[in-house]
A and B are shown apart, each in its own frame.
Chain A
Amino acid sequence: MDQDKTEILKVEKLSLNLDGRPILKDLSLSVQTAEIHSILGPNASGKSSLAYALIGCCDYFAQRGKIYFMGNDVTHLPVDKRAKMGLTLAWQEPARFEGLTVKDYLSVGIKGKNDDLIKEALEFVLLKPEEYLNREVDKTLSGGERKRIELASVFAMRPKLAILDEPDSGIDILALDHIINLIKELKKKGTTVLLITHREEVSSISDKTSLLCTGTIVKEGDTEEVGTYFKEKCIPCPTRIYPGAENNEAERKSE
C-alpha cells in the first residue's frame, strides 16, 4: 500500500447502513498529521456516525470501504485495538459512570496510572485537580464540566488522532473560546485533531475542512472557502436527512 508519509487517516469509499437506512455513502477522506481537520455539516448529515465508524463502535462497522490509520488497515479492528494504536474520540454526549471518580476515568487511557499526567490533564481544561479528582463522573457534574473532563481524558491519553465530536455543543459562549484554545493546544502538543461540528465559526480554526452532506463529503479544502459555501449554500438548503432523502422528498411532492 502506497501511503503518503504524512497521512494519518485515510478513508476509502466508506458506506454504512443502519437499520437498512444509508447513513454514509461512498465517503472518502484524507487527514494529514499535525493538522486540525474539520468535518463540517448540518444536523443529521452523518457526522457522529462517521466518528463512530472511524473509531470502530460495534454497531457502526461499515458494509463497504476501508479505513486506514497510520497506514494500517483498521477497518475490522474493534474500538480498543484502534485506541491502543492512538485513535480516540471525545463524545458529543459524554457518558456518566456511577461510582467512578474523575481520577478513575482519566486513568483509563494512561499507562501506569500516572498521577501527574492526570493532574496535568485537569489543569489543561482549567479544572482544579483538588476539586475534581475524587468527584464521581455522574449526574452531579454539569454538562460543561463533563465536556471538559472528556477533553481532559483525551488529552491524558496523548492520542495520535483525536476525533472531537461537537466539542462546542452545550457549552456557553464564554466557554467556547476556551474550548477552541484547548483544541489548538492539543494540536501544539502533537495530536492531530478531526473536529466535527455544525458551526462554521468553530471549523474556522481548522487547517482544512471537509463538508459532509447526506452521508458523503461534497466539498473539501480551504477552510474559509468551504465555510463560505456552507453558510451560503448549505444553511438555506432544505434538510436532507440521509442519502436518497431527496428522492423521498420528490415522491412526497408528487403525491
Chain B
Amino acid sequence: MSDYQLMVNAYAQAGGTPEVFKESKIAHLVVHKNKVIGSHLVKGLILEPKETESGVDIELKIMKGVKIEYPVHLCFGVLPKEGLQEINIRARVEDAAGVKLLAHCVFPNAVKVVHKMMAEIEIGDSAYYEYNEVHFHGETGGVEVIPKARIKIGKNSRLVTNFSLLKGRVGIFNLDYESEILDNSILEMTAKIYGYGHDQIRIREAGRLLGKASHGLIKSRIAVKDNAQSEIINELSACAPETRGHVDCVEIIQGNAQARAVPIVNVTNELGKVTHEAAIGRVDKKQIQVLMARGLEEEKAIDLIVSGMLR
C-alpha cells in the first residue's frame, strides 16, 4: 500500500473524511514526513509547500476579499515508528478574506516520533481565520508534539483555534500559542485533550488584547487519568479600553493523574476587564449520581461525563 493510501487511512482513523481529497471544490495538502504526497488548490488560495530536510515549509495566503467557500484540509503525519517532522507555516489572510482550515496530524505507529510545528499567522482587517487541529497518535505514547504559533490579528477580524487530541496516547505535548489582537477583533482558543498512561501535557495559550473593544476567550478542557500530568497556562491581557477577556479551564483527574492550572490575567487599562475560572478535580459526584439514578454504572457515568466535556 502506498504512503498516500496509508496516510489517508490514518486520516480516516483520526476522524477525517477521505472523500474530501477527491473533491475538486476542496483544497487539500497531504504531507508525509518531509514529502508532499498530495495537494490541490482552489481559486484565491495560495498554498506553496517547500520540502526541507526534516519537514515542509508552507506559504499560505488568502487573497484580499476572497472567502474560501469550503474548509482547506491539511494532513500531516509520520507513518514509521521513528522520525522527525518539522512543519513551518507562514499564513497570511489579507483584508476582508476568510478561510477555515482543518488539519489532521496522524502518527499511528509512533514509538519515537517528534512533530514540531511553527506557525506565523497574520490576519488582516475584517478578516476571518479558523484553524482546527485534530491529532491521532496510536497507543504507544511514543510521540512528542511541539506546536507553536505567533499570531497577529488586525482590526474587525476574528481568529478561532480548536485543538483536540482525544484518540490514542498523547505522549509528550507542549503547545505554545501567542496572539495579539487589534481593535474590535475577537480571539477564541480552545484546547481539548485526553491524557492517560504516562502522558505529559503542557499548554500555554496567551492573548494580548491590544486594540480597543477587542475580545478574547481562552478555553481548556483536559481529562487525565492513570499517571498522566497536565499543566495549563492560560494568559490574557487587557491593554486597551473596552477590552473583554475570559479564561476558562476545566481539568478532570482520575487515578494518580496530576493537573495544574495557571490562569494569568493582566489588565493595564482601567476600562478593560478579564475574568477567569478554573476547576480541577475528580468528576462531579452529583453528576455521577444523577446518571447512576438512570441506571448507568459508575464507570460508564464517568466516561459519559468526560466524553461530553471533551466533545
Interface of A with B (CB < 8 Å)?
55, 57-59, 78-80, 83-84, 88-89, 91, 94-95, 97-100, 104, 108-109, 153, 157
In the complex formed, the residue of A with least CB distance to B294 is A109
Number of residues on chain B facing chain A (CB within 8 A): 24
The residue of chain A having its C-beta at the shortest distance from the C-beta of B250 within the complex is A98
Asked whether, in the complex, the Cβ of A80 is within 8 Å of the Cβ of B304, the reply is: no
Check if B287 is an interface residue, CB within 8 A of chain A: yes
Chain A contacts for B293, CB-based, 8 A:
55, 79-80, 83, 88-89
B309 to A108, Cβ gap below 8 A? Answer: no
Q: Which residues of B contact A (CB under 8 A)?
A: 221, 250, 284-287, 289-298, 301, 304-305, 307-311
- Contact between B307 and A99, CB atoms less than 8 A apart: yes
Best-buried of B289, B291, B298, B309 by chain A (most CB within 10 Å):
B289
Question: Does A57 lie within 8 Å of B305, measured CB to CB?
Answer: no
Distance in Å: Cβ of B156 to nearest Cβ of chain A: 27
Taking CB atoms, residues of chain A closer than 8 Å to B286 are 95
Residues of B within 8 A of A80 (CB): 292-293, 295-298, 301
Between-chain CB contacts (< 8 Å), 29 pairs: A55-B293, A57-B289, A58-B285, A59-B285, A78-B292, A79-B292, A80-B292, A80-B293, A80-B295, A80-B297, A83-B292, A83-B293, A83-B294, A83-B295, A84-B295, A88-B293, A88-B295, A95-B284, A97-B287, A97-B305, A98-B221, A100-B311, A108-B291, A108-B304, A109-B294, A109-B295, A153-B294, A157-B294, A157-B295
Given pairs A88-B294, A109-B294, 20 additional interface contacts (CB within 8 A): A58-B289, A78-B292, A78-B298, A79-B293, A80-B293, A80-B295, A80-B296, A80-B301, A88-B293, A89-B293, A95-B287, A98-B221, A98-B308, A98-B309, A99-B310, A100-B305, A100-B308, A100-B311, A108-B294, A109-B295
B residues near A108, Cβ cutoff 8 Å: 291, 294-296, 304
